[in-house]
């Protein structure tokens, strides 16, 4: 029987896709982004729910969705549980519920099948060059690039997210490279800059994990907005 490992469900998500959303946080992620604020979801934990059980829970929140809400699969990395994710998408599709996938694009199998069912992909751009990517997430960029290639063969709407980390992304040179990089990504509707914040710090302390950005200040929000304006102007 297909089962999945879910960390938690947020019933009234307002930022992870259009409208009011049920956000399902999957356990398991192979990346180790220096700025990750969900380290408790890195490890794959015991399987605790079937697709049918999850979709039954999700359906309870349906009255909140109105015209444009739905479900967002987040984590962790939802693509780490491809069979479970695919079955959840199939069941949600038969209920006509809007599906968003919040992902770093790091999966192995069934990606095309999942993309066939997902309405919106929210893709986290970690870094635009291979060395910068590897330094930031401790894994090669290949899977993420393969995912972008796959997106070219599907019609999913795409929202892009770029966390702006001081001393890594907060310079005009990077912003210009980012503009060039995302030209290759199809069907992009929206691009968000997320200023690096320190909300995950206490989790690292509680889990006794080394926090590589412990001493780095949060990204200044005004500076982040200025960079976004530069991004809009960049050719
Ligand atoms: S992809 Fe997301 S969950 Fe995984 S390490 Fe990076 S920020 Fe954390």
pLDDT digits (tens, 9 = 90+) for 79-105: 999 999 999 999 999 999 999 999 999
- The finding on whether 122 has its CB within 6 A of some atom of ligand 1 is no
pTM: 0.97
CA of 97 to the centre of ligand 1 (A): 26
CA distance readout (Å), 15 to 20, 22, 23, 221:
8, 11, 10, 17
Handedness of CA 56, 26, 209, 166 (dihedral sign): negative
CA of 36 to the centre of ligand 1 (A): 5
CA of 138 to the centre of ligand 1 (A): 11
8-state DSSP, 57 = H
- The finding on whether 33 has its CB within 6 A of some atom of ligand 1 is yes
- The CATH code of the domain at 6-233 is 3.20.20.70
Q: Tell me the best of 77, 107, 135, 143 to mutate to test the pocket of ligand 1, counting ligand atoms within 8 Å of each CB and taking the most.
A: 77
Residues 159, 123 contacting (CB under 8 angstroms): yes
Residues in the chain: 235
- Two tokens, residue 60: 């309870």
Query: Domain segments of the chain: what residues?
Result: 6-233
Give the C-alpha separation, 38 to 125, whole Å.
Answer: 17
Atom number, ligand 1, closest to the C-alpha of residue 75: 3
Given a cut of 90, whether residue 2 has pLDDT beyond it is: yes
| Three-class SS state of 133 | helix
User: What pLDDT, in 10s, does the model give residues 18-55?
Assistant: 999 999 999 999 999 999 999 999 999 999 999 999 99
- Two tokens, residue 106: 């790091």
Place of tokens 């999957």: 26
CA of 75 to the centre of ligand 1 (A): 7
């Amino acid at each position: 029987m297909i089962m999945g490992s879910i960390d938690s469900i947020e019933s009234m998500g307002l930022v992870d896709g259009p409208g009011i959303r049920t956000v399902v946080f999957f356990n398991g992620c192979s990346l180790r982004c220096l700025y990750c604020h969900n380290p408790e979801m890195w490890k794959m934990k015991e399987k605790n729910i079937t697709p049918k059980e999850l979709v039954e829970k999700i359906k309870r929140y349906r009255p909140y969705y109105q015209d444009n809400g739905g479900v967002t699969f987040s984590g962790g990395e939802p693509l780490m549980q491809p069979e479970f994710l695919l079955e959840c998408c199939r069941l949600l599709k038969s209920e006509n519920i809007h599906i968003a996938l919040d992902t770093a694009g790091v999966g192995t199998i069934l990606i095309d099948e999942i993309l066939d069912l997902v309405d919106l992909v929210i893709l986290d751009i970690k870094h635009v060059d291979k060395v910068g990517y590897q330094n930031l997430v401790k894994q090669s960029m290949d899977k993420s690039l393969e995912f972008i290639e796959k997106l070219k063969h599907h019609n999913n709407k795409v929202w892009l997210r770029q966390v702006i980390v001081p001393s890594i992304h907060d310079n005009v040179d990077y912003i210009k490279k980012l503009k060039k990089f995302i030209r290759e990504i199809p069907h992009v509707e929206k691009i968000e800059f997320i200023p690096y914040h320190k909300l995950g710090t206490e989790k690292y302390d509680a889990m006794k994990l080394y926090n590589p950005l412990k001493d780095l200040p949060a990204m200044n929000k005004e500076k982040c907005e200025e960079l976004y304006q530069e991004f809009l102007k960049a050719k």
